[in-house]
Structure 1
Amino acid sequence: MKLVNDMTVWFLKRRFERIDQFKKNPVETQLRMFSELLETARYTEWGAKFNYGQIRTVKEFQEQVPVSTYEDLYPYIERVLKGEPNVLWPSQIEWFSKSSGTTNARSKFLPVSPEALEECHYEGGKDMMTLLIHNRPETRVFDGKGLSIGGTLHANPFDDYTQVGDVSAVIMQNLPAWGQIMRTPPLDVALMDHWESKLEKMATICSQENVTSILGVPTWTIVLLDQILELTGKKNLLEVWPDFEVFVHGAVSFEPYRDLFCQKYFPSPQVTYLETYSASEGFFAIQDDLDKVGEMLLMLDYGIFYEFLPLDEVGKQHPRALLLDEIEIGVNYALVISTNAGLWRYLIGDTVKFSSKYPFRLKVSGRTKHFINAFGEEVIVENAEYGIKTAAQKTNALVANYTAGPVYMGDGSRGRHEWVIEFTSEPQDAAAFNRILDESIREVNSDYDAKRYKDMALLPPLVHVVPPGTFYAWMGRRNKLGGQNKVPRLSNDREYLDDLLAILQEN
């Protein structure tokens, strides 16, 4: 495999010149993306509606085209799902990525155009390895295989001629032959829809391969790695894969898991951890400096035009969005994208904070709404409220206040959500309340449901019932009493939970 590694490294090194170009000319690169997107879509229904053929400047674009949520765009996306051509983007759409997080449906369906696959997702995959090589010139990562855990694919419920699935599955299904050869497990196993059987087969197959890299979400990776250790009887994964070099991670914060990976799974400085920022909507950023943990280079030439919305502008009818050269370091912005799959001025729901300019590096700082996404489950407040309401109604309870956050995976332990709930009238059956709360959130959130499948990644919720007045006392301690201050319902860390539980311990 030495020849394969040397040729691949040589090929990818050449790509760094293009990355260096947009780092030196970021604003010009983005204006080129803007012009190319509008020119390509000018004859679509959307482009005709908003006079793309007459728009000459970004200012005109912002004045004429509204910022849109998924709910705003869904009437158009639904028509694309049903096979109608030239609605949002001129290319034929044969694939849709499925994601959770919408307030009015269990899953979102996002178009994946041929351009988005080739110029965005695949370009991002190549560039993450290019940047690894730039940081680790002596890498032998291509001497072995890359392990990746795919999602599943299903027929589009609106059109049998197209398919929907996790974006990872869409990408894997469309990889060229040389890409399939360089990865493991085989495609038929990677795309299995029965997670228990899939992980079992993956453990058996991958434990016998020379795996040198993993691409995945920490949550599912931990489940697989534990299964491999149990199967092989080894103490750590370097005893299984002695040439292992890099774990490419994304989707959730890696910090709660870093010690677990460095101490239990890969206890060696030879292993590199590389962060990426990608989603169903596109591939956005890659860590380009391994010494800058949590900071990623915004990739500017993937067919995506970026705008940045100050948080106090979110929800306004005519919000003022900023361009790349207008952002400030250390300020939270809601990310707005226009893409080569026909998502126009789309409010993706993430918030980002820039750590540097020229080059433009950012961190994913959260979501535009309170949420829990410690394990890739993307539970939003609307999901939580539905679960609380349903559980309370079915157990004759009245809920006064609540908050929830994550219990992170530990050494050999699964993650879960932890809830602190104050009742005005406690449920007749506490165990039933907890069970219905869990089932109701699974009902409306497909990503949470997947993580809860047979307790494989997430255990059932841990619920603490607190005495009346607990939340009032807690808000008082935080100087947050008053009508304008609200109890934070969800948090992606344990700050609120630990503070509340400390009050209980004091009493």
Structure 2
Amino acid sequence: MLQTFGKAFNTLFYNYLSRRMGEIDHFLNHPISTQKNILFQLLEKAKKTEYGQFYDFQSIKSIHDYKNKIPLNKYENLEPFIKKMQLGQKNVLWPNQIKWFAQSSGTNSTLPKQIPITKENLQNCHYKGGKDLLALYYRENPSTKLFSGKHLIAGGSTSLTPYSKKTHVGDLSAIILKHLPWWCEWRRSPSNVKKLITDNWEEKINHIVTHSIKDDVHIVAGIPSWIVLILQEIIKKNKVKNIHEIWPNLELYLHGGVHISPYMQKLKELMPSSKMNFFSNYNATEGFFGIQDKNNSDDMLLMLDYGIFYEFIKQENWNEENPKTIDLEDVIIGETYELVISTNSGLWRYRLGDTVQFTSLHPFRIQIIGRTQQFINTFGEELMMHQAEIAVGAAAKYSNAHVCEFSVCSKLLSNEKGIGLHEWAVEFYKKPNDLDFFSNQLDNELQKVNIDYKSKRKESKTISAPKINLVKKGTFYQWMKKHGKLGGQYKVPRLSEKSIYIDELLKISASN
């Protein structure tokens, strides 16, 4: 019966693809006018809200007016409005009453953010992005049999907590599951996963490992570290060499959240089939922003018709109190920008904290670079998260090693050559035969991807060679468990100018 339904869904998706491709082609060909229309649709929709009346949305006639009238916002600026909404007040940042609030995982921040999720945001952003992701894959791989099988998603918590009599807070994955149509739940592996409401991530992993082996899984999706954990457990429990012995029709891994490079060697060991495709997407709590649309590509289309208006802040202006933003039409390939978004969930000129680079302007394609709070510039090296991830992945490949997780910080030196160094904590699935060789390769790869790092490493006058600490297996897992960050949406802090994460990781490793 699954195959019969699958054929029907393949036909339905082909019809959706044909219609949707016309819409996508329109914004690819008319990106600037599409974005302008999105902004004025948002303003029209919210003009009678408390926020819209205070800033007189109705009087805004241009993008220039919008920037002059509306201040840039961080979460703390919008939090008083969000609190009103959570208590049930209507028409605050967005029309009507908002019932759902998604708790952001907060990789760096100590307090989680609770982002309003509107019906428009669910339907026209998150769900639309999910459908487009599969539609774009279908266009690139027309012979796919994806929809004759099931998909396994390593998401976050499925429980929702009442905030007031009228509102609830939970992970975005819980809100999405709450509103999924029946046919999406029917295709999910293991079935009835929404009934597993426990917040114990280890119990969830065991449930997935035990029950998903019965299904014909064609797609797996989630952050690489958690997918590796699930696949390893399934392979170990069933005493097979790789996951294709359990799921022979598996063909697609959908990933996001972090760069895949450090994990690629391990993922290919677990999923070695030549028919496997790896597709990335950029889906955050605040919105669905980007989708990979080409096989073997390392960038994503910036999706311009999801009810999100984009602005960008140059890196040189990140620390200014009121930085200037630039429009989509003014971005440059290779520059690093902080994203500013105005959305159909009532986030107005919201500084997301994520950073991107454009790889193409026709159409607009992006790569995720990291976060404004996750980079190291202690010695003027301007090391970004994606540079560290690419370098680690390359070093692992050359060293025949499989990296599990890593974190790096900068440290000042007192009596040694150079002013300071980068200290790393690295956990391996498979250790390199020669850790010094891995360290040298990592240093060389960092110099390839970052010219500022290379100049500071010259003759070790500013930055000495990296210090690599090999931590025991399970160290990063224990760190996340200790901090209540077990779950499919959580990520380990990669880069920091403080040694707090490295020190704690080394302490955990020593005590294991």
Asked whether the two chains share a fold, i.e. TM above 0.5, the reply is yes
Matched, 1:249 2:255: yes
Q: Which amino acid aligns with 1:260?
A: K
Matched, 1:40 2:45: yes
Structure 1 residues 261-285: Cα deviation after superposition (integer angstroms, max 9, x where no partner): 11x2111110100000010000000
SS in 2 for 1:56: coil
Aligned to 2:351: 347
Q: Work out the CA distance in 2 between the residues paired with 1:129 and 1:64.
A: 39
SS in 2 for 1:18: helix
Q: Work out the CA distance in 1 between the residues paired with 2:288 and 2:73.
A: 19
SS in 2 for 1:46: helix
Alignment of 1:414-493 (within 5 A): 446-447=484-485, 488-489=497-498
Return closer, same or farther for 1:100/1:80 CA change in 2, 3 Å cut-off.
same
TM-score (norm 2): 0.75
The counterpart of 1:182, out of the listed 180, 183, 187, is 187
Query: What is the Cα deviation at residue 91 of structure 1?
Result: 3.4
Matched, 1:163 2:172: no
Aligned to 2:229: 223
Do the aligned partners of 1:286 and 1:299 also contact (CA within 8 Å) in 2?
yes
Aligned to 1:324: 328
Do the aligned partners of 1:93 and 1:113 also contact (CA within 8 Å) in 2?
yes
Query: What is the Cα deviation at residue 192 of structure 1?
Result: 3.3
C-alpha RMSD of matched pairs (Å):
3.5
The counterpart of 2:100, out of the listed 95, 105, 124, is 95
Q: Work out the CA distance in 2 between the residues paired with 1:290 and 1:304.
A: 26
Aligned to 1:287: 292
Alignment of 1:361-400 (within 5 A): 361-370=365-374
Do the aligned partners of 1:189 and 1:201 also contact (CA within 8 Å) in 2?
no
SS in 2 for 1:207: helix
Return closer, same or farther for 1:308/1:376 CA change in 2, 3 Å cut-off.
farther
Return closer, same or farther for 1:247/1:66 CA change in 2, 3 Å cut-off.
same
Q: Work out the CA distance in 1 between the residues paired with 2:199 and 2:479.
A: 22
Query: What is the Cα deviation at residue 27 of structure 1?
Result: 0.6
The counterpart of 2:283, out of the listed 269, 278, 287, is 278
Aligned to 1:410: 429
Structure 1 residues 22-61: Cα deviation after superposition (integer angstroms, max 9, x where no partner): 1111111101100100000111111111110100111111
Query: What is the Cα deviation at residue 71 of structure 1?
Result: 1.5
Do the aligned partners of 2:45 and 2:95 also contact (CA within 8 Å) in 1?
yes
The counterpart of 1:197, out of the listed 186, 200, 203, is 203
SS in 1 for 2:326: coil
Aligned to 2:467: none
Do the aligned partners of 2:156 and 2:487 also contact (CA within 8 Å) in 1?
no
Matched, 1:209 2:215: yes
SS in 1 for 2:304: coil
The counterpart of 1:139, out of the listed 141, 144, 147, is 144
Matched, 1:172 2:181: no
Q: Work out the CA distance in 1 between the residues paired with 2:283 and 2:276.
A: 22
Do the aligned partners of 1:305 and 1:338 also contact (CA within 8 Å) in 2?
yes
Do the aligned partners of 1:101 and 1:379 also contact (CA within 8 Å) in 2?
no
Aligned to 1:237: 243
Q: Work out the CA distance in 2 between the residues paired with 1:201 and 1:301.
A: 37
Query: What is the Cα deviation at residue 321 of structure 1?
Result: 0.6
Query: What is the Cα deviation at residue 401 of structure 1?
Result: 9.1
Q: Work out the CA distance in 1 between the residues paired with 2:343 and 2:162.
A: 24
Return closer, same or farther for 1:57/1:193 CA change in 2, 3 Å cut-off.
same
Do the aligned partners of 1:116 and 1:341 also contact (CA within 8 Å) in 2?
yes
Q: Work out the CA distance in 2 between the residues paired with 1:490 and 1:370.
A: 13
Query: What is the Cα deviation at residue 160 of structure 1?
Result: 4.0
Q: Work out the CA distance in 1 between the residues paired with 2:80 and 2:479.
A: 26
Aligned to 2:378: none
Query: Which blocks of at least 5 consecutive residues in structure 2 are unaligned?
Result: 376-384, 390-402, 412-418, 433-475, 506-512
Identity across aligned pairs (percent)? 35
Return closer, same or farther for 1:452/1:340 CA change in 2, 3 Å cut-off.
closer
TM-score (norm 1): 0.75
Q: Work out the CA distance in 1 between the residues paired with 2:66 and 2:94.
A: 17
Structure 1 residues 339-371: Cα deviation after superposition (integer angstroms, max 9, x where no partner): 000011011110100000010000001111126
The counterpart of 1:259, out of the listed 261, 265, 281, is 265
Q: Which amino acid aligns with 1:489?
A: K
Do the aligned partners of 2:159 and 2:199 also contact (CA within 8 Å) in 1?
no
Aligned to 1:7: 11
SS in 2 for 1:300: coil
Query: What is the Cα deviation at residue 329 of structure 1?
Result: 0.5
Query: What is the Cα deviation at residue 13 of structure 1?
Result: 2.0
Q: Which amino acid aligns with 1:315?
A: N
Matched, 1:21 2:30: no
Query: What is the Cα deviation at residue 126 of structure 1?
Result: 0.3
Q: Work out the CA distance in 2 between the residues paired with 1:303 and 1:174.
A: 19
The counterpart of 2:302, out of the listed 298, 303, 307, is 298
